[in-house]
Chain A
C-alpha cells in the first residue's frame, strides 16, 4: 500500500468541511474563530502536500504556509481583541447579538 497524494488530501477536506460546518452553526464567536482556524489549517496542509508531492526541491508552498501561519497568528490576536472588546460592551459573545448594523 502506498501513501499517495490523495490520501493526504482526504483529512484536509474533512477538516475543511468541519470548519465550514462549525463556522455556520456555532453561535459563540470564539467557537467561530476556532472553526476558522480549522479551515485555515486544512488549506495550509493542502499547500504543503502539493508542494511536497508535485514539486519536490522547490519550497514555494512551504514558505506560503509559513507566512500564512504568521498572518493567522496576527489575525487571531486582533479578532480576539475585538471579541473581548465586544464582550466588554455587551457582556456577551453571541454572534446574533452583534446586529446593530442591520437595517
Chain B
C-alpha cells in the first residue's frame, strides 16, 4: 500500500509529545523548540506526501469510475465488547481527511515556527514552560490528526476529547493567571457538556445501525452508493420515534450538538472568546484553524446520513445562519483584537455549517441533481481557505500584541508605519476573509453563497449580508490597528516587525491566502469523491463583492482617520451598541442559569436533602451509638478486681441457678 507511512504522520507528533514532555526539562528551552519545529516539519512533509498521493495518485482501487474511494490504511480491533460490537482504531483516508491533514500540518508547522519567536522575550530568550508548551502543541497536533483520520465514531469521540484536553491545557498555559484558569475551565466544561450529547448521539446511532464504523455507516461497499446505505440505515429504525422525531433524527441532532460545542455554534459559543486568554499562536492553531472546525468536520463526515435526515439538517441550518450573523454583529464592536477575531471565527465556522446544511438543496431528495453537494464542497473549501487566512490574521495579531504588549485596539493605532510587513499580511488576510477576488476567501465564500441561493433566496440574501458585515468588521479592526491616528509609544521599545521566525510564517500564510482560491476544490473534496461541475455565478459573485466593497468603504470612512463618527453612531443607539459589546449578555445568561436556576433551584435542595436526610440519618445512628457507648463505658472501669467481682458473682449466680434447677426439678 502506498499509504502505509500515514501512520508516521500520526506517530511523530505523539512521539514528540512524549519526548518533549518527558525529556524536555533536561534540555535547554531553545533546543526543545527547535526539535519540536523539526518534528513538525517532517510530519508536514509526510502529510503533504499522503495528500498528494491520495489526490493525484492512481494506485490500485484508489479511483473507481472517476470516484475517489475511501481507503482504510490500517484498522485493527481495539476493544471487542462482543462479536459484533467492536471498537477499532485506525487510519482512513478520504478527500476531507486528506485535506485536513494538509490544513492541520501546515498551520501547526507555522505555529510551531512562529512560537519560537512569540514565546520569547525581547532579547530572544525563551519563556518559562517553553518545553511544556511545545509538548502540548505536539499533543494537540497528534489528537487532531487522529481525529480526522478516524475510521469510526468512537475513535472520533476519543480524539474529540483529546483535542479538548490539549485545548484546555494550552488555554491554561499561563496557569498563574486567574483569567486563563477560568477560561480553560470554561472551555473544558462547555465542550464537555456538548460532548455528552455527542456520546448519547453515538450510542443511539450505533444502537440502531449496529456499527461505529464509517465503512458501514456512510460509505458502504462503494463510495458512490453511500446515500442508499445511509437511507437504509435511517429508514430501518424509522419506526422508533421520540417526541415526534425518529431516533435517527435525535441521534444526528445530538451528534451535531457535540460538533456545535467544539465549533462554538450559538448558544455553545461562550467558551471561544474567553479561550483567547491562551497564547496567541495557540489561538491561531486551535481556536481559529483546526480544533474549532472539528464540528464541521464531524457533520461532513456523517454527511450522507444528514442528507437523508432533513430535520437534523434544518436544525443545523437555522443554528448556523443565526450564529453567522450573531457573531458578526458582536465582532463589529469588540475592542479587544483577539476577541474580535474570535467572533469572526465563530461567524466563519457558522458559514461552513450553513453551507453543509443547504447542501441537500430541496429536501430529502435522494436523486442527484444539478448543484447537489455544492454546499458540502464549498464548506470544505472554505474550511481550507479559512484555516489559512484566519491563522494568518491571528499570527499577525500575535505579532502586534508581542510588539505593543496589549490586546486593546486603543493601544495600537497607527502601527502601519512601524510594522509594514505585518500590516500588509494583515491586509491580505482581511481581503481574503472579506471575499475580494482573487484572494482565497472570495472563491470559497462565493460557492457557499451560490449554495445558499440554491436553497432559497432568503438564505442567500441573509448570508450575503453577513458577508458584507464580515468585510466591515475586519476592516474596522485593520484600520483601527494600523491607522486611525499616530501611535503613542507607551513602552520603552518602539514597536517593529518581529524576528524572522515570526515574520516568515506570516509571509508564507499570506502567499497561501492569495493562491489557495485556485485549488480545484470541486474536483477534490466533493462529498462522494467524484467531480463537481461548478462555474462562477457572476450575479452572486458580483453582488457579494459589491456588498463587501460597501462594507470596506464604510469601514474606511469611519475608521481610517480619527473622527467622531463611530462614537456618534455608538451613542445614537447606545443600548444596541452596549448589548453587542457585552455579547448580547450570553455570558450573563449562562451565569444566571447555572448559578441562579441550577445551583439555587436544583442543587441547593438536593444538597439539603443529602445533608439533612441522608447524612442526618447516618448522624443519628452515630450519635445514638455514641451516647450508648458513653453510658456503657463506665463498666470499663480499668479496675481488674472490679471485673473479677462481677465475674465471680456471675459464676455464683450460675451455680445457684443450677442448684435450684437440680433441687426443684
Contacts and interface: CB of A to CB of B under 8 A. Distances in A.
A–B direct contact (CB < 8 Å)? yes
Interface of A: 20, 23-25, 95-96, 98-103
Interface in B602-637: 633-634, 636-637
Contact of B638 (A20, A23, A101): A101
Given A20-B648, A24-B648, 16 more contacts: A23-B641, A23-B644, A24-B641, A24-B644, A24-B645, A95-B641, A96-B639, A98-B638, A98-B640, A99-B638, A101-B638, A102-B636, A102-B637, A102-B638, A103-B633, A103-B634
Interface in B628-664: 633-634, 636-641, 644-645, 648
Nearest to B632: A103
A96 B648 CA distance: 19
Interface residues of B, number: 11
Nearest to A29: B640
A98 B640 CA distance: 9
A20 B644 CA distance: 9
A23 B636 CA distance: 19
A95 B648 CA distance: 18
B634, B636, B640 — most chain A CB neighbours (10 Å): B640
User: Which 7 pairs from chain A and chain B are nearest by CB?
Assistant: A102-B638, A99-B638, A103-B633, A103-B636, A24-B641, A102-B636, A95-B640
Contacts of B640: 95, 98
A51 B386 CA distance: 111
Contacts of A101: 636, 638
Contacts of A20: 648
Interface of B: 633-634, 636-641, 644-645, 648
A23 B645 CA distance: 9
A20, A98, A102 — most chain B CB neighbours (10 Å): A102
A100 B633 CA distance: 14
Contacts of B633: 103
Contacts of A103: 633-634, 636, 638
Contacts of B638: 98-103
A20 B639 CA distance: 16
Contacts of B634: 103
Contacts of A25: 641
A68 to B, nearest CB: 18
Contacts of B637: 102
A13 to B, nearest CB: 13
10 contacts: A24-B644, A24-B645, A25-B641, A96-B639, A101-B638, A102-B636, A102-B639, A103-B633, A103-B634, A103-B638
A95 B639 CA distance: 8
A23, A25, A102, A103 — most chain B CB neighbours (10 Å): A103
A12 to B, nearest CB: 16
B632 to A, nearest CB: 9
Nearest to B635: A103
A99 B641 contact: no
Nearest to B641: A24
B655 to A, nearest CB: 13
Contacts of A98: 638, 640
A25 B641 CA distance: 8
A100 B639 CA distance: 10
A103 B641 CA distance: 16
A62 to B, nearest CB: 25
Contacts of A102: 636-639
A23 B648 CA distance: 11
A98 B648 CA distance: 21
A98 B638 CA distance: 8
B344 to A, nearest CB: 74
Nearest to A102: B638
Nearest to B630: A103
A101 B640 CA distance: 11
A96 B637 CA distance: 10
Nearest to B642: A24
B546 to A, nearest CB: 93
Contacts of B644: 23-24
A42 to B, nearest CB: 14
A80 B95 CA distance: 92
A80 to B, nearest CB: 16
Nearest to A98: B640
B636 to A, nearest CB: 5
Contacts of B648: 20, 24
A26 to B, nearest CB: 9
B389 to A, nearest CB: 79
Contacts of B636: 101-103
A67 B639 CA distance: 31
Contacts of B645: 24
A93 to B, nearest CB: 13
A100 B636 CA distance: 11
A30 to B, nearest CB: 14
A6 B648 CA distance: 24
B24 to A, nearest CB: 57
B643 to A, nearest CB: 11
Contacts of A95: 639-641
B654 to A, nearest CB: 16
Contacts of B639: 95-96, 99, 102
Nearest to A100: B638
Nearest to A99: B638
A51 to B, nearest CB: 21
A79 to B, nearest CB: 13
A40 to B, nearest CB: 15
B633, B638, B639, B648 — most chain A CB neighbours (10 Å): B638
Contacts of A96: 639
A33 B634 CA distance: 26
A98 B637 CA distance: 11
A99 B639 CA distance: 7
A96 B639 CA distance: 6
B502 to A, nearest CB: 74
Nearest to A23: B644
A95 B641 CA distance: 8
Contacts of A99: 638-639
A25 B648 CA distance: 14
Nearest to A20: B648
A102 B644 CA distance: 15
Nearest to B648: A20
A51 B165 CA distance: 88
B187 to A, nearest CB: 56
A51 B634 CA distance: 44
Contacts of B641: 23-25, 95
A98 B188 CA distance: 62
A23 B647 CA distance: 12
A103 B645 CA distance: 19
B63 to A, nearest CB: 88
